[in-house]
């Protein structure tokens, strides 16, 4: 019997009834043969933990602590549940807020899931040979806690205590009357395990439901997108559409594909990490758009499409034989979106555009960095990503307009447009009095204190935009004497006397670890946060709670992680249903859908059209 590995984002903790749905990989596919997809599953929600019960505290590393999916009691709990007794020598599990105070929680959170599972199965807790039920005369029943998530709650109370120690996870599920096919994964004390894992007294077993067809549909389910994009701005746009249910067909050059497939290192087992990051939930078709038969394939795709997206240099698609007028004549309902650096017409039409170039031209770099120093680019390719985000927004707006007009329209989305939109308050300053803003470092020109401070072991950001917050800050940091100084009585005064005020706050914060600064100011309800590196970001309980880590199985790269879906919709949640496709993986499948026979597909391949 073949086994299936379920790729689940177990890093999230989500409040009911919201769900984060993450997909498993498909079978390894022969690029020249028809493909058979594999069923999807999702990692459903957990519940917000009862903060007063240490049994449900977060384990920052995820090795043997109580689950981060949490299982706080609520109105659906079974009545009369037994208390979970903890072994006498078992240390209490830290609560979620305690994890936030640690300097670098979850050091191993970035390790491969395989390593974590090896750890789990190497411990006595998961060993069938050593997991034993108490047999002492008069001993109480060996009890475990079972938590049902998502649709599994149709089989009973969300949380219950059962006499299940010494049994395997599979046996417990069977005893509860839950069909095995309904369970996607088993989580014991925060670790995903296989169904043969044996439970011990006091363990918590969480059961995650398999994805069911209709309810896995996102807000854009049924929307068909022809994706002619490459690199980042375009693929990020279509990623957003795909994450919310659109059927995105990525059309690529035979034998070459999206150039980001070659952008490495870093790579994962030879697959570009860059490509993996922005191409999930898509299907890949290869078609040579310079070949007559390749053009006919695109024609058929456009005829059935709701959206066509491209980010070639302006004019390229028209030169291939597909100007806007022809695309519109083929399908009046299709929304056609062009993404470029500087527009489809005008003086910048022919200029090459990459992220760094557009960050500079859009003004963002002139505002970023330390005063008097050279301009600094933002640390992520935000010009590409913001351009793609605005394009996705425009597409959805055009689809909504189609409900009224019955027709699609043409969108001209630009990277430079996204950059100018981000100028926001800095543009407002310029338009107000003609002053050209310059880099200000990590401080605010109009609010004090509103900046980065160095703590004893790192950095924190503190923001006090009004007098009430400033007063709380001073009391929390034992700087009450500042409240008696007329120079700091209100924000205009604090701005005027910045040079006198900031050094006092700097000196105090420098004596404290950043976790202590954050704790003190959060307790005082002062806006504050640590500056986190990526290890800390992806270990942060808030990030895990919101399901912002997606984990997917890929037939070549194996199991990999990427940022999850950043928004949660209560009725039509986004989901990760497909791994980033192999080049041409779905060519036969998609061509069959648009009317090609197997013989015709074989001839197209022989003729070099696909």
Per-residue DSSP letter, 198: B
Extract the tokens encoding 458: 């790192």
Torsion (CA) 490, 493, 498, 499 in degrees, nearest 10: -130
Q: Are 434 and 370 in contact (CB under 8 A)?
A: no
Helix pair angle (467-476, 514-523), 10° resolution: 130
Q: How many CB atoms neighbour CB 181 within 10 A?
A: 8
- Please enumerate in sequence order all residues whose Cβ is within 8 A of that of 356, keeping only pairs 6 or more positions apart, or say none: 377, 383
Find out whether the peptide bond into 253 is cis, omega within 30 degrees of 0.
Answer: no
Residue identified by tokens 């059935």 is: 304
Extract the tokens encoding 54: 């240490």
Catalytic residue among 201, 355, 384, 588: 384
Length, in residues, of the chain: 610
Rounded to whole angstroms, the Cα distance separating 242 from 226 reads: 11
Q: Are 14 and 545 in contact (CB under 8 A)?
A: yes
Q: Are 529 and 458 in contact (CB under 8 A)?
A: no
- Please enumerate in sequence order all residues whose Cβ is within 8 A of that of 424, keeping only pairs 6 or more positions apart, or say none: none
**Residue (of 73, 22, 42, 113) closest to 204 by Cα position:** 73
- Residue 499 is a catalytic residue: no
Cα–Cα distances (Å) from 257 to 251, 265, 368, 557, in that order, read 8, 18, 35, 17
Euclidean distance between the first and the last CA atom of the chain, given in angstroms as a whole number = 35
Largest CA distance in the chain: 88
**Residue (of 235, 323, 215, 324) closest to 279 by Cα position:** 235
β-strand 144-148 against 204-209: which pairing, if any? parallel
Per-residue DSSP letter, 282: E
**Residue (of 238, 227, 231) closest to 358 by Cα position:** 231
Partners of residue 283 on adjacent β-strands: 249
Burial (CB count <10 Å: 0-12, 13-18, 19+), residue 377: middle
Q: Which parts of 40-82 fold into alpha helices (H)?
A: none
Rounded to whole angstroms, the Cα distance separating 403 from 393 reads: 16
* Positions marked catalytic: 384
């Amino acid at each position: 019997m073949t086994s299936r590995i379920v790729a689940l984002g177990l890093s999230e903790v989500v409040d009911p009834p919201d769900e984060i749905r993450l997909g498993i990989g498909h079978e390894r596919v022969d690029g020249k043969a028809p493909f058979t997809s594999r069923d999807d599953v999702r990692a459903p929600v957990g519940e917000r933990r009862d903060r007063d019960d240490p049994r449900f505290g977060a384990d920052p590393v995820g090795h043997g602590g109580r689950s981060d999916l949490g299982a706080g009691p609520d109105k659906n709990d079974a009545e009369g549940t037994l208390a979970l007794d903890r072994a006498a020598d078992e240390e209490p599990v830290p609560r979620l807020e305690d994890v936030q105070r640690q300097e670098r929680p979850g050091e191993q959170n970035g390790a491969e899931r395989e390593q974590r599972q090896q750890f789990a199965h190497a411990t006595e807790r998961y060993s069938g040979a050593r997991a034993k039920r108490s047999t002492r005369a008069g001993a109480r029943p060996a009890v475990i806690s079972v938590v049902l998530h998502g649709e599994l709650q149709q089989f009973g109370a969300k949380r219950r205590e059962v006499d299940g120690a010494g049994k395997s996870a599979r046996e417990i599920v069977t005893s509860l009357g839950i069909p095995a096919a309904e369970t996607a994964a088993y989580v014991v004390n925060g670790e995903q395990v296989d169904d043969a894992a044996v439970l011990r007294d006091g363990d918590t077993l969480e059961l995650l439901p398999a994805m069911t067809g209709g309810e896995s549909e996102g807000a854009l389910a049924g929307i068909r997108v022809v994706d002619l994009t490459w690199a980042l701005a375009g693929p990020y746009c279509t990623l957003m559409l795909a994450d919310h249910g659109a059927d995105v067909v990525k059309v690529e050059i035979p034998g070459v594909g999206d150039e980001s497939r070659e952008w490495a290192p870093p790579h994962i087992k030879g697959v570009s990490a860059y490509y993996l990051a922005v191409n999930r939930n898509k299907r890949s078709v290869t078609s040579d758009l310079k070949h007559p038969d390749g053009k006919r394939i695109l024609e058929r795709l456009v005829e059935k499409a709701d959206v066509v997206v491209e980010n070639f240099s302006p004019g390229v698609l028209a030169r291939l034989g597909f100007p806007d007028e022809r695309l519109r004549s083929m399908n009046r309902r299709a929304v056609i979106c062009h993404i470029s650096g500087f527009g489809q017409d005008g003086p910048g039409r022919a200029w090459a555009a990459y992220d760094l170039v557009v960050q500079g031209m859009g003004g963002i770099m002139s505002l970023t960095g330390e005063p008097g120093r050279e301009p600094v680019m933002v640390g992520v390719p935000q010009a590409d990503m913001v351009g793609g985000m605005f394009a996705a927004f425009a597409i959805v707006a055009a689809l909504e307009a189609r409900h009224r007009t019955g027709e699609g329209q043409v969108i001209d989305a630009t990277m430079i447009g996204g950059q100018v939109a981000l100028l926001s308050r800095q543009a407002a300053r310029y338009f107000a009095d003609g002053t050209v803003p310059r880099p200000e470092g990590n401080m605010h020109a109009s609010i004090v204190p509103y900046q980065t401070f160095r703590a004893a072991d790192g950095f924190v950001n503190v923001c006090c935009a009004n007098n009430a917050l400033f007063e709380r800050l001073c009391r929390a940091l034992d700087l009450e004497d500042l409240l008696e100084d007329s120079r700091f009585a209100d924000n205009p005064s604090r701005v005027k006397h910045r040079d006198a005020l900031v050094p006092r706050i700097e000196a105090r914060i420098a004596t404290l670890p950043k976790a202590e600064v954050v704790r003190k100011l959060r307790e005082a309800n002062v806006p504050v946060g640590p500056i986190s590196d990526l290890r800390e970001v992806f270990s942060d309980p808030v990030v895990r709670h919101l399901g912002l880590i997606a984990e997917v199985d890929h037939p070549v790269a194996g199991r990999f992680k990427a940022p999850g879906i950043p928004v949660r919709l209560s009725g039509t949640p986004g989901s990760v249903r497909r791994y980033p496709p192999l080049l041409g993986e779905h060519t036969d499948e998609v061509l069959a859908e648009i009317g090609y026979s197997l013989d015709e597909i074989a001839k197209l391949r022989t003729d070099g059209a696909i």
